[in-house]
Amino acid sequence: MRSSFPAALAAGTIGLLLSAGGVRAQQVTVGVIESQSGPVSSIGIPLMRGLAAAMVNGGVIDGVHFKTIALDDASDPATSARDARKLVDEDKVDVLFGSSGTPATLAVNSVAAEAHVPLVITANTLVQGAKGDWEITIPQPFPLMVAADVQEMKKRGIKTVAYIGYNDAFGDLVYDALKQTAEPAGIKIVADERYARTDTSATPQALKIIALHPDAVLTGGSGSPGALPHIALKQLGYKGAEYSTHAIINAEFVRIGGDAVNGVIAPSGPVVVAEQLPDSNPIKAVAMQFRHDYEKANGSASSDAFPAYAYDAMLVLADAAKRTLATGAKPGTPEFRTALRDALYSTRDLVGAHAVYNFKPGDRYGTDERSRVLVELEKGTWTLLN
Determine the average pLDDT of the residues in 362-376. Answer: 93
What's the CATH number for 145-268+373-384? Answer: 3.40.50.2300
CATH superfamily assigned to domain 7-140+286-354: Response regulator (3.40.50.2300)
Lowest model confidence (mean pLDDT) among 43-57, 112-126, 199-213: 112-126
Quote the pTM value: 0.88
Determine the average pLDDT of the residues in 231-252. Answer: 96
Determine the average pLDDT of the residues in 276-290. Answer: 95
Q: Is the pLDDT of residue 386 over 80?
A: no
CA 146 to CA 140: how far, in whole Å? 10
pLDDT attached to residue 14: 35
301: phi then psi, degrees, rounded to nearest 5: -80, 150
Residue type, 120: V
DSSP assigned state of 40: T
Q: What angle do CA 75, 247, 281 make, to 5 degrees?
A: 135
Lowest model confidence (mean pLDDT) among 186-195, 199-208, 332-341, 362-371: 362-371
Q: Indicate if the alpha-carbon torsion angle 258, 259, 264, 268 is positive or negative.
A: positive
pLDDT attached to residue 23: 36
Lowest model confidence (mean pLDDT) among 4-13, 119-128, 247-256, 295-304: 4-13
User: Residue 267: which of 290, 241, 249, 293 has the closest Cα?
Assistant: 249
Determine the average pLDDT of the residues in 113-131. Answer: 83
Q: Is the pLDDT of residue 320 over 90?
A: yes
Please, where in the chain does CATH 3.40.50.2300 lie? Answer: 7-140+286-354, 145-268+373-384
Lowest model confidence (mean pLDDT) among 78-82, 128-132, 172-176, 281-285: 128-132
For the stretch 131-152, pLDDT in tens is 678 999 999 999 999 999 999 9
pLDDT attached to residue 304: 87
DSSP assigned state of 371: G
Element (H, E) at 81: helix 77-89
pLDDT category of residue 126 using cuts at 50, 70 and 90? low
For the stretch 9-28, pLDDT in tens is 544 443 333 333 333 469 99
